[in-house]
Amino acid sequence: MKAFLILEDGTVFCGQSIGSTREVISEIVFNTSMTGYLEVLTDPSYAGQAVVMTYPLIGNYGICYEDMESERPWPDGYIVRELSRIPSNFRSQGTIQEFLAKHDIPGIAGIDTRALTKILREKGTMNGMITTNENYNLDEVLPKLKAYTTGKVVEKVTCKEKYVLEGNGPKVALMDFGAKRNIARNLNKRGCQVTVYPALTTAEEILADHPDGIMLSNGPGDPKECTSIIKEIKKLYDSEVPIFAICLGHQLMALANGADTYKMKYGHRGGNHPVKDLKTGRVYISSQNHGYVVNTDTLDPSIAVPAFTNVNDGTNEGLAYTGKNIFTVQFHPEACPGPQDSGYLFDRFMNMMEVNK
């Protein structure tokens, strides 16, 4: 069946329908990872977006449910050049086609994803529609595309109630703004007892459980939409509990302390982004998935200073909070880039909790 991708600038790509055949409007973003497509599909940070995979062949090792980063896939749509028809992998439990159809996610294959990515790089991230309707009317579609916003998606992806991953070590409160499973796994394998809290949990409830440390997770959408969460994070900042934050959590902590964020032209999404530790000068290969960034010009140095920077474009990749046991990063140390380049950040957090006792 034919499918069409219509961008808000009027560009139309024609390909084959994969997965669900329902029509969807979403923000179109691209990911440069060569592998890890299941982790991309199940990353809650993609809620409200349709993902373009720049690598030309996707699906060749199938689906392995053990590798999922959450209980379900979150993107609104999936866009690829070529989808492997027969996966080859002893761990494979199915195909991407079956996975997308099972979860009612529409997609399109057979389009020139390199040309699409060039458009998004030159013009910036834009909205688009995936449809199987061959009689679409551009004059009707384009106003709908321009009007689309992702809205408040954190509430959509967070857990419904708190739960505990048992451990014999420090007690860590993990705020779930759309947390990838590997964040909790990294803490758990270091012995931590991890209590995962829904995004709208109050600071009072978290602090009443007397955690040794607090973890602020990744998540989707514009950080400025999370107004009530930002107020609670400021209360956590004012406590003396060590805090480590990743991606959206990093942005929310900055906003809670008077800094500003802005939307990037096309964001960072992929597994090969170099970041520099400003303290040591060492460069690490990182996994990233974000469309917003902290504006370091708005930082009060008495509150926080840049700790990491992106080698490619100089944007902020992390902050160290002055006089506080708090550090935050924009990238994903739990995602095994490098493959273990930045895993030491979890060890730094462990040390912070130990010293604070």
- As annotated, the binding site for L-glutamine includes 45, 219, 221, 248, 251, 289, 291-292
d(CA 202, CA 216): 13
Predicted local confidence at residue 334, as pLDDT: 87
d(CA 347, CA 186): 10
Least confident of 30-34, 261-265, 336-340, 351-355: 336-340
Predicted local confidence at residue 341, as pLDDT: 74
138 contacts 8 by C-beta, under 8 angstroms: no
Rounded mean pLDDT, 199-212? 98
Rounded mean pLDDT, 12-25? 97
Rounded mean pLDDT, 93-111? 97
- Angstrom CA distances, 38 to 63, 66, 97, 117, 263, stand at 7, 10, 12, 20, 26
Active site residue 122: no
Helix (H, G, I), strand (E, B) or coil at 340: coil
Strands (E), 104-170: 106-109, 126-131, 163-165
Write out the two tokens for 188: 């758990």
- Percent with pLDDT over 90 in the chain: 94
54 contacts 78 by C-beta, under 8 angstroms: no
Task: Enumerate domains of the chain plus CATH numbers.
Answer: 2-147 (3.50.30.20), 154-356 (3.40.50.880)
Tell whether the model's pLDDT for residue 151 goes beyond 70.
Answer: yes
Residue 338 binned pLDDT confidence (cut-offs 50, 70, 90): low
d(CA 48, CA 324): 34
Write out the two tokens for 12: 């139309």
Write out the two tokens for 350: 């462990």
Q: Give the closest residue to 159 by CA, choosing from 174, 147, 143, 172.
A: 174
Q: Give the closest residue to 22 by CA, choosing from 138, 128, 131.
A: 131
Predicted local confidence at residue 335, as pLDDT: 74
Active site residue 268: no
Rounded mean pLDDT, 131-157? 95
Least confident of 53-67, 238-252, 292-306, 339-353: 339-353
Tell whether the model's pLDDT for residue 355 goes beyond 90.
Answer: no
Sequence-distant (6+) residues with CB within 8 A of 351 are none
Helix (H, G, I), strand (E, B) or coil at 45: helix
Residue 342 binned pLDDT confidence (cut-offs 50, 70, 90): confident
Name the strand (E) or helix (H) holding 92. Answer: none
36-73: pLDDT as tens digits: 999 999 999 999 999 999 999 999 999 999 999 999 99
- Among residues 27, 39, 247, 317, the one annotated as catalytic is 247
Rounded mean pLDDT, 95-103? 96
Tell whether the model's pLDDT for residue 340 goes beyond 80.
Answer: no
Predicted local confidence at residue 188, as pLDDT: 94
Q: Given the DSSP bridges, would you call strands 2-7 and 57-58 parallel, antiparallel or unpaired?
A: unpaired
- Among residues 250, 268, 273, 332, the one annotated as catalytic is 332
- As annotated, the binding site includes 45, 219, 221, 248, 251, 289, 291-292
Tell whether the model's pLDDT for residue 218 goes beyond 70.
Answer: yes
- Among residues 39, 69, 317, 334, the one annotated as catalytic is 334
